[in-house]
A and B are shown apart, each in its own frame.
Chain A
Amino acid sequence: MRGSIVSWLLTALLCTAGSGSAFAQERETEQQVRELQEPAPEAVEVELASPTATEKEVEWQGEEDADEEPAEAEEGQAEQDEERETFGDRFRRGDLFGWFDAQARFFPQQAGNPLGIPPQNDYWFNGSLAWEPGFFMNVTDYMNFELILFGRVDQHDRNRTHGDIREGFFELFFNEWTLGFGIHKVFWGVTESRHLVDIINQNDLVEDFDNDIKLGQAMITTSYTNDKAGTFSLYVMSWARPLVFPGPLGRPTLPIPVDNDLRVYESRLKEGQIDAALRWSHSMAGFDWGLSYFYGTAREPQLFPMTNAAGLPVLQPVYDLIHQGGLDVQYTVEGWLLKAESIVRGGQGPTFGAVTGGFEYTFYQASGSILDIGIILEYSYDSRNNNTFIIFNNDFFTGVRLSLSDVGSTEFLVGSFIDAKDGSVFIAAEASRRFGDSWKILLEGRGYIPQKDNVLQFFRNDAQIQVDIEFHY
């Protein structure tokens, strides 16, 4: 398995290496010219501490100079050889990295049956294992390649036993321009509680429903960055991934399962629909701006109840073609971060708008200690008020982050969403710390305090405690 990936990689890299080396050689020449004009960059290195060392070093320097002169004629040839060898060298110098995760989830309450259907997920413990291996290399001075795979095996939920290519991306960069192709992840936006403008990648919902973990997206992208005008990016994408919900044995899960086999697309090309997106972003004084536009298959489906072939109630996902305009802005001054994001989306029922905004303030070294205390307050509004599945239609988010700035980067986080209309609450608390250079332990607790008729009712009994032991390499 591993061998085949490596050989595929090699072929892919070799195919593209040619185009990169033209750049590299150009730069090589540039460098040689510069070296001729200026004194050699590695000039005399004089050891200060001991005078004897100084003498030695000067002597050695002299010897090298003497050696160098007759060899100069061969230098050009030698350097070209070096360039030819470089790909192999660079491949070997590539960085293998990643992490393993052993995860345990505990559910102290008996699973509920909000719609009178007996639950299949009434267990108190769920174990799972995950691995995210990665490989990164500079193919040339002007090209990077990154591959990140992911897989998880889950004890109960078949949908959560899943794999993904998080990244498989070539990126070329030359002065103000970049050009990338492959499978990639892109993040847009500034707020913490809800990522409205961020639309390129599908959520990895079975991994976690906090919308921070994404599936890789196939794309070709280019960007132009200029100090004065900011960054302009263009994305052309295809094969948008369907949103995978937890299965009937997942916990928490929806009371009626989502049947992805029944999914329908508005686009005649279905999954083959070509999506396009544009973004401009810029930093001016204390402001960071982002303006974006997306046209293509919605990442977030509409769900309609129906019965499947077996006559059981299921939810059918419908993927509309949408237009979405987005704006995000952050103003940074001293310890304050003021943030807002807003979208307008058409094509998914009536055109609607949504906004999230608020602030983050950090007291650094609160009361003279090494403790940093950050507080976050955000409000979300979504004009799709009558849709039960939109949890953030009118909600506050409050969060407190404590960071110890110690060797183990110890951190505590407490966050809660509060429905402004009915007072329903979702609360989560998290602690993490690194042990040694490679191990990391995360503890998390989550709870739901729903009021009547709030969508959180479905998860009322799904309070959980989660422990993750991670090994990073």
Chain B
Amino acid sequence: MKRSVAPFVIFAMLVPALALAGPAEDKGLEIANEADRRDEGFSDSKSKMLMLLRNKRGQESKRELEIRTLEVKGDGDKSLTVFHTPRDVRGTALLTFSHGVEPDDQWLYLPALRRVKRIASNNKSGPFMGSEFAYEDLSSQEVEKYTYKYLKDDKVDGVDCFLVEQYPVSKDSGYTRLQAWLDKDEYRIRKIDFYDRKGALLKTLTPSEYKQYLGKHWRANKMNMVNHQTGKSTELVWSEFEFKTGLKDEDFTRTRLQQVL
């Protein structure tokens, strides 16, 4: 690690965040905690997700998924993701037990072989199904996964926001830092800029069409991720959000992974 220059540069960039827990760091963490606290208590949720992958020439390809999430007290959430399209991976399902700073546990179900396979979970930075979303972008967002620094107040589309910089704790992350704009009203993410391992701007995420469920939980019905380096983009369109559907631990097991369709 000491021999190559790049990691040193990254390390140097992380130093201010790690070493100095000053007022800006405290305020950053406070904002993250508040955003987390406001979404607590959803128990479980179900939703459908359409992924629209667009390349530079505007060619589009589609993926349809179904996602179930179980809120776990004192640990990261459990989630189950099932593919409906493309049809050659129909029924393929991913079970994730996320654990904050500790690596997640992940199992993949391959329906053609009827095989449940435990997979390595350090593939955080890899693209999810060829999209511009990395696995880490779609995994459960736990407060402990980052350290924080409040930068300033800012506006996104005329809405008053906090601008907070986030530094991934995991060494497997594909990012050196994220800049997140959260609106002051409801602590909803309005925009995130992702900076790659070299520190260059890689992607921008823009959630839109927020709706509130159960009078509490805000969910963006659309999320657009643009990759500035390749010109490709991926739009997520969420639908049929349901909360408190009665899902239990038993619905997030390797056995159930084979029966979710």
Contacts and interface: CB of A to CB of B under 8 A. Distances in A.
Nearest to B97: A283
B61 A365 contact: no
B90 A225 contact: no
A406 B132 CA distance: 10
A470 B89 CA distance: 13
A407 B113 contact: no
Interface stretch (B11-19, B23-31, B123-131, B141-149): B123-131
6 contacts: A34-B246, A39-B215, A99-B88, A173-B259, A364-B120, A437-B86
B115 interface: yes
Contacts of B65: none
A350 interface: no
B255 A231 contact: yes
Given A364-B172, A365-B174, 19 more contacts: A30-B246, A43-B214, A46-B212, A47-B209, A49-B208, A97-B87, A144-B259, A173-B256, A178-B259, A225-B253, A227-B249, A335-B122, A362-B123, A409-B130, A437-B61, A437-B86, A438-B87, A472-B86, A473-B87
A281 interface: yes
Interface string B89-126: 11000000000000101010000011111111111011
A255 B156 CA distance: 74
A472 B111 CA distance: 14
Contact of B130 (A45, A186, A408): A408
Contacts of B120: 332, 334-337, 362, 364
A187 interface: yes
Contact of A48 (B103, B123, B129, B210): B210
Given A372-B126, A408-B130, A41 B214 contact: yes
Interface in B133-151: none
Interface in A360-410: 362, 364-365, 368, 370, 372, 405-409
A162 interface: no
Nearest to B185: A48
B241 to A, nearest CB: 9
B84 to A, nearest CB: 8
Contacts of A372: 123, 126
Given A437-B61, A437-B62, A437-B86, A41 B244 contact: yes
Nearest to A362: B120
B248 interface: yes
B122 to A, nearest CB: 5
A372 B124 CA distance: 12
A173 B53 CA distance: 36
Contacts of B123: 335, 362, 364, 372
A186 B53 contact: no
The 7 A-B residue pairs with the shortest CB-CB distance, nearest first, are: A472-B87, A407-B130, A472-B88, A48-B210, A187-B115, A43-B215, A364-B123
A410 B114 CA distance: 22
Contacts of B242: 41
A188 to B, nearest CB: 9
A437 B249 CA distance: 34
A332 B244 CA distance: 33
B228 interface: no
B206 interface: no
A212 to B, nearest CB: 6
A327 B175 CA distance: 40
Contacts of A31: 246
Interface in B200-248: 208-215, 242-246, 248
Interface in A1-55: 27, 30-31, 34, 38-39, 41-49
A365 B115 CA distance: 25
A44 B86 contact: no
A175 B214 contact: no
A407 B261 contact: no
A153 B202 CA distance: 50
Contacts of A48: 209-211
Nearest to B218: A48
Contacts of A436: 61
B66 to A, nearest CB: 12
B213 A45 contact: yes
A136 interface: yes
Given A187-B113, A288-B118, A41 B243 contact: yes
B139 to A, nearest CB: 15
Contacts of B55: 407
